[in-house]
Amino acid sequence: MNARVPLLSIDDLRVHFPITKGVVLRRTVGQVQAVDGVSLELSEGETVGLVGESGSGKTTLGRAVVGLYRPTSGSIAFRGTDLGTIRSEDAKGVRAQLQMVFQDPFASLDPRWPIGASIGEPLRIHGVGNRRERRTRVGELLDVVGLPRRMAGRFPHELSGGQRQRVGLARALALRPALIVADEAVSALDVSVQAQIINLLQRLQREFGLTYLFIAHDLAVVHHISDRVAVMYLGRLVELASGSDLYGKPLHPYTVSLLSANPVPDPAVEARRQRIVLPGDPPNPASPPGGCRFHTRCWLRERLGSPERCASEDPPLRGLASGHTVACHFAEEVADSPVQRHAVGAGD
């Protein structure tokens, strides 16, 4: 792993979607701030988990990385090359290094195509080999993901969910990428199948030196597979740390609340944990609150007497420990809070 030269560098990324009105003369009346000022680096060979509730901007960030969404501002650099300024004749080769595995393995495959054609399509588009060589490569990819080669002639509806997700992985691997964005890649699968796919992802990472941006809402799965974990809330990155640090001692009130809802396998510890139920729904991303975006639902702010700083001043990401950054004015109070200790299972 080379920490000095990141494989992927995201700097102050913003992805906003226009809100329009009118049928004939459509006019923009607002912006949905799906991703709003995210900076993140991924080193070669590591797995970064990205968590947060629905609407936090996780999927939008992942799709911007692979080029499915155009950034409103900010930059995404791959091995030091800004993808927004790359020449069109070079973009195809660079984009081949960034692939995505989608949440719904059925919707992401063309139901009219046999799976061999779906896996081989990236090879055809990029002009890799002739027809016979591509057919051979498809067979090799099926071997890699643990599917028999005879399945190349089958259609998506003939496969189980786990098999379809393996097809999605094979397609993502076709061009030998360096980075794979896995967007809720196991959330639609049964628990036993989830374990198989996670084990497959880890084996492929070892064999091919892959880097993963692993997007999920299942905190236990993220903890198992990730080297570092990033937490998003309402388009912003609010905490980033190694898996052990973030799960053992979270420093943002939102992360604490997420972990309080994550069951632990020890019944005695689980029985004494404190569940934090956040009031209301996340604010509208078209008009997020000023100051800290989490302050309208924050349990710590209420315990501190609702300091005005939370409502007026946007907290920057700051380092409180080696490799542990957090966007909270009062993260030190979170670290010393008995609520945090009881929520993650460390309380008496």
Instruction: Note whether residue 137 is domain-resident.
Output: no
Task: Work out the percent of the chain whose per-residue pLDDT is above 90.
Answer: 65
pLDDT digits (tens, 9 = 90+) for 177-231: 999 999 988 887 788 888 888 999 999 999 999 999 999 988 888 999 999 999 9
- pLDDT tier at 2 (50, 70, 90 boundaries)? very low
Q: What is the pLDDT of residue 152?
A: 94
Instruction: Note whether residue 215 is domain-resident.
Output: no
Instruction: Note whether residue 261 is domain-resident.
Output: yes
Q: Cα dist. 238→67, 126, 326 in Å?
A: 24, 38, 6
Q: Structurally, how many domains does the chain consist of?
A: 1
Which DSSP state fits 149?
A: G
Could you tell me the pTM of the whole model?
Answer: 0.91
Q: Which of these ranges, 141-145, 210-214, 246-250, 303-307, has the smallest mean pLDDT?
A: 303-307
Instruction: Note whether residue 270 is domain-resident.
Output: yes
- Look up residue 257 and give its amino acid: S
The residues that bridge with 318 in the sheet, in sequence order, are 326
Instruction: Taking residues 90-100, report their average pLDDT.
Output: 87
What gap in Å lies between CA 134 and CA 117, rounded to an integer? Answer: 10
Q: What is the pLDDT of residue 101?
A: 93
Q: What is the mean pLDDT of the chain?
A: 90
- Is the confidence at residue 24, as pLDDT, over 80? no
pLDDT digits (tens, 9 = 90+) for 230-272: 999 999 999 999 999 999 899 999 999 999 988 877 787 777 7
Instruction: Note whether residue 20 is domain-resident.
Output: no
Q: What is the pLDDT of residue 348?
A: 46
- Is the confidence at residue 1, as pLDDT, over 50? no
**Host H or E run for residue 175:** none
> Which residues neighbour 13 within 8 Å (Cβ) at sequence distance 6 or greater?
35, 37, 38, 39, 61, 64, 71, 73, 74, 75, 76
- Is the confidence at residue 42, as pLDDT, over 60? yes
Range of the domain at 289: 250-348
Spatial CA neighbour of 237 closest among 83, 55, 38, 99: 38
Instruction: Taking residues 102-126, report their average pLDDT.
Output: 90
- Give the start-end residues of each E strand in the chain: 8-21, 27-42, 47-51, 73-78, 81-82, 98-101, 179-183, 211-215, 228-233, 236-242, 318-321, 324-326
Instruction: Note whether residue 296 is domain-resident.
Output: yes
Instruction: Note whether residue 326 is domain-resident.
Output: yes
Instruction: Taking residues 75-90, report their average pLDDT.
Output: 86
Instruction: Note whether residue 273 is domain-resident.
Output: yes
Instruction: Taking residues 123-141, report their average pLDDT.
Output: 93
What gap in Å lies between CA 218 and CA 33, rounded to an integer? Answer: 24
Q: What is the pLDDT of residue 292?
A: 95
